[in-house]
Amino acid sequence: MSIVDLFVDIKLSFFKVIRLFRVLRPLRVISRNEGLKISIQALIISIPAVFNVIIITFLFLLIFGIVGVNYLKGKYYRCEYKNIDGEI
């Protein structure tokens, strides 16, 4: 379809949509190569475990964020600058 699009001067968005199907070319390579197929299947199978790790990580960040906010309690709301003499 890319070659047809080069020779046809009609500017139709239909040809642009068909050119997007070139993205599917790597899928043919994956289907032919057994090693790639196994690795892609392993990645797909591991997605739920990765999501579990992400959820636990965000929970830890949330807990430490809550603890940090409770610990500081607005100490940095206002900046007080003291010079060398101790005057504000």
**pLDDT of amino acid 1:** 57
Q: Which two tokens stand for residue 17?
A: 């949509």
Query: Residues of 3-23 as b/e, b for ≥16 C-beta within 10 angstroms?
Result: eebeeeeeeeeeeeeeeeeee
Tokens 């057994």 — which residue? Answer: 34
**pLDDT of amino acid 4:** 65
Full-prediction pTM beyond 0.85? Answer: no
Tokens 């890319």 — which residue? Answer: 2
pLDDT digits (tens, 9 = 90+) for 68-77: 889 988 777 7
User: What are the sequence ranges of the domains in the chain?
Assistant: 1-32, 45-75
pLDDT digits (tens, 9 = 90+) for 30-51: 888 888 889 889 999 999 999 9
